[in-house]
Amino acid sequence: MRIISGIRRGLILESPENENIRPTIDRIKEAMFSIIQFDLGEIVLDLFAGTGQLGIEAISRGAKHVIFCDSDQKSIELIKRNLNKAKFTEFATVINSDWKSALNNISKNIKINTVLLDPPFESKIHENVIMYLQNKDLLQENALIIVECKKAEQLPEQIGNCKLLKKYNYGQVSLNLYKFE
C-alpha cells in the first residue's frame, strides 16, 4: 500500500496482518480519487477505515481533517501507525467504535464534505449508513459520498436526499458516487 498522490506521494504504508481487512487496491483508489479530485472536501469521513489508507490519501491530496472510524482495535492501531508514518496525526480524529456510535459521537458543529464509504462487502449496509448520515445532519450541502462495493450489488438511484450521480465499474468492484442535495 502506498500514497498515490499529493504531499506524501510514494510513501509506503504499513499493510494489515489481519486477512479480514481488505485494503482498497491502488487501481481502485486511484480511480476513486480521480472521480472526486476537484471536489475533495476539507472535512472527510473515512468510515470502515481499515488501514486508514483512503483517509490518508485524502489528507495527502489536501483534505484539512479526516475522521477515521473503525470498530476493530487492530485496525485502529494500524491507522494510528500509518498516520504517524505519514506525519498526519494533527489532521486526524480516530474513533474506535461501530459506525452508528461513531456517527453519534461526531459533533453537530462538524459538516462533512466527503464520505469514503467502504464497509465489508457482505454487510449490505450502505443505504442504512447514508440515511443515518442524513438523519444526524452531518453532511454539508453538496457533500459527496463515494461507496465501494461489489459490482453485482445494485445500489438505488436515490437514498433520502442523496442522488446517485454515476456508477463506475472496475473488474468485480464498483464505485458509486452520490451527492447530498
Mean pLDDT of the chain: 92
CATH of the domain at 129: 3.40.50.150
Query: Domain total for the chain?
Result: 1
Answer yes or no: is 10 within a domain: no
Answer yes or no: is 106 within a domain: yes
In angstroms, the CA 58 to CA 53 distance is: 9
Mean per-residue pLDDT for 92-100?
Answer: 96
Q: What is the pLDDT of residues 172-181, one digit of tens each?
A: 999 999 999 9
Phi-psi region of 10 (alpha: psi -120 to 50; beta: other; left: phi over 0): left
Answer yes or no: is 67 within a domain: yes
Burial of residue 89 (number of CB atoms within 10 Å: 0-12, 13-18, 19+): exposed
Three cell numbers, residue 56: 490518508
Range of the domain at 91: 26-180
Answer yes or no: is 3 within a domain: no
Specify the pLDDT at position 55: 97
Would you place residue 148 in the very low, low, confident or very high pLDDT band (cuts 50, 70, 90)? very high
